[in-house]
Amino acid sequence: MKQESKKVENNNKRVISIVIFGIVLLILVGITFAHFMLKKESDFGEMKAAKLNINFTENNELLMSNALPIYEEDIESKASYITFSFVNSSTTDTYVDIYLSNMTIPNALKDYDFKWSLETSDNSSFTNSIKVSTGNFLELDTSDSTNIKKLLVPGYTIAKNSTKYFRVRVWLNENEKDQSAIAGSTFKAKISYKASVSTPNTLAYKILGNNNSNVLTNTLEFDKETTDLGLYVQKDNSEKSEFGFPVYYYRGEVTNNYVNFAGQDWRIMGINEDGTIKLAGLTTVDATLDMTKDYATDTLSFDDYIGTNLNNWYNSNITGTNDSLVATENFCYDKTNTFDDLNPTLNCRDTNGTVITKIGTFSTDELMYAGAFIEGFAGNNNNFYLAGDFENTTQTTLTFGLNSNNKVYPYKLTTAASTRSDNIIPMEFSGQNTQTINVRPVINLKSNVTITGGTGTKVDPYVIG
């Protein structure tokens, strides 16, 4: 009886041990599965609570050998490219940041004319493809010296239970100048991504809305008073924006484009082709203009005009971490006297007028897109946010034109409180050899900057964190 009792006791111990082992195993499996669902890392990307797979059409490396300059009409046939797709098998939308990573790029290709572009489609043949963004390689993420990266788009929506195809192109853009120092270079990169089911907290996402739900598509008429109000897009016209990629801009007397950054209040002008976000300051910087010259023939560098004053203001007000959030961008310093008030463009008419800097001001064309009303047309324009910010203040632009004395001077935006005509006219000689001009600082925030609060109104602006 004692032996049988001992056998039973031992068997019970075995059963208890097996049960305990099973419970521990289930717990470990559960923890492992939960960890896998929350965060999966690979050579290509990182997922957070998302079920997303990436597939490459041919290989996972983008290679451009012996780079030669090509014209815009040859991009589709001659640019190097890589195609891939994301398969979202989850029951919720997934937001993905897409990068070129593990780059091998010589210093010569870290240039304004070495370009990239990103387009997407619902099918692998890329019929009816959509242009997403385009940019250059002037600024790269070198925080990890072993993995140099370039962000192509932040928080792109991959709808639940869907497949989205992407194509990335790189090419050396022909600029009609000597590019021998760049030609012949080799570039290599891979595609990587970060994905999450959490709604992006970027400023760009707040501006555009999910799947660009905040963007209006009305056709604008620039020869009439501004009654348009909202966020618009310019796209699919390479004469209006670089390679026809989308540019988003606020127009009219909008009230939801306020942002606080670096202790300063700004108005959001829009989003550029590369996803950077253009801001106009709610302040002005003084500069001095020599009124005895005719700038059709007299040279005037950007720095001598307004650049030095703006850079001094920038260095005093935007420092440290805030400086790292500002993109180096191209501003159009247009002295060609070819401004067309009925046909404004977001491209630079002056082929020698591109200025690469962190701070500038707006062009006359950008004012037209925002809602300015050109001098010479009947009526007044009272519905224009950039004019309404300042009363009785003349804001000088980067665009030059012919005044009534047949001399070329900068265009200015006048905002007299008595008439609120908001006219854009070239400056006139005032009887003084020099004249103080008011320049509104304009900067571009990087495409992935996030906000810590705010709703975009004047009393509750978006706050950049």
Q: What is the mean pLDDT of the chain?
A: 85
Angle at 121 between CA 116 and CA 124, to 5 degrees: 100
Confidence of residue 310 (pLDDT cuts 50, 70, 90): very high
Confidence of residue 302 (pLDDT cuts 50, 70, 90): very high
- Pick the closest to residue 100 from 44, 172, 176, 34 (CA basis): 44
How far apart are alpha carbons 460 and 453 in whole angstroms?
8
Distances (CA, A) of 288 to 41, 52, 305: 55, 56, 8
Query: Looking at the structure, do residues 255 and 324 belong to the same domain, yes or no?
Result: yes
Distances (CA, A) of 296 to 88, 184, 236: 57, 38, 33
Residue range(s) defining the domain that contains residue 455:
215-464
Query: Looking at the structure, do residues 219 and 193 belong to the same domain, yes or no?
Result: no
pLDDT per position as a tens digit, 387-412: 877 766 778 899 988 888 888 889 88
How far apart are alpha carbons 357 and 395 in whole angstroms?
20
pLDDT at residue number 376: 56
pLDDT at residue number 17: 44
Neighbours of 26 (CB within 10 A): 10
Query: Looking at the structure, do residues 187 and 237 belong to the same domain, yes or no?
Result: no
Q: What are phi and psi of 23, to 5 degrees?
A: -65, -45
Asked if residue 5 has pLDDT above 50, the reply is: no
Cα pseudo-dihedral 173, 177, 178, 180, rounded to 10: 10
Any domain includes 272: yes
pLDDT at residue number 33: 29
Average of per-residue pLDDT across 429-457: 93
pLDDT per position as a tens digit, 230-253: 999 999 999 899 899 999 999 988
pLDDT per position as a tens digit, 329-371: 999 999 888 888 778 899 998 888 889 999 999 999 998 899 8
Query: Looking at the structure, do residues 258 and 160 belong to the same domain, yes or no?
Result: no
pLDDT per position as a tens digit, 138-183: 999 999 999 999 999 999 999 999 999 999 999 999 998 999 999 9
How far apart are alpha carbons 21 and 5 in whole angstroms?
24
Any domain includes 159: yes
Any domain includes 10: no
Tell me the longest C-alpha to C-alpha distance in the chain: 124
pLDDT at residue number 401: 87
Which CATH number goes with the domain that contains 64?
2.60.120
pLDDT per position as a tens digit, 74-95: 999 999 999 999 999 989 999 9
Cα pseudo-dihedral 445, 450, 455, 460, rounded to 10: -70
The CA-to-CA distance between both ends of the chain, in Å, stands at 77
Average of per-residue pLDDT across 28-35: 31
Average of per-residue pLDDT across 64-72: 94
Asked if residue 321 has pLDDT above 80, the reply is: yes
Any domain includes 453: yes
Query: Looking at the structure, do residues 395 and 435 belong to the same domain, yes or no?
Result: yes
Count H helices and E strands in the chain, helices first: 8, 29
Query: Looking at the structure, do residues 272 and 407 belong to the same domain, yes or no?
Result: yes
The reported pTM is 0.87
Query: Looking at the structure, do residues 290 and 426 belong to the same domain, yes or no?
Result: yes
Query: Looking at the structure, do residues 224 and 193 belong to the same domain, yes or no?
Result: no
Query: Looking at the structure, do residues 294 and 326 belong to the same domain, yes or no?
Result: yes
Cα pseudo-dihedral 223, 228, 234, 235, rounded to 10: -110
Query: Looking at the structure, do residues 171 and 122 belong to the same domain, yes or no?
Result: yes
pLDDT at residue number 248: 96
pLDDT per position as a tens digit, 371-381: 887 655 545 55
Q: Contact, 370 vs 385, CB < 8 A?
A: yes
Any domain includes 31: no
Q: Give the total number of structural domains in the chain.
A: 2
Angle at 303 between CA 299 and CA 308, to 5 degrees: 150
Burial class (CB in 10 A: 0-12, 13-18, 19+), 397: buried
Any domain includes 348: yes
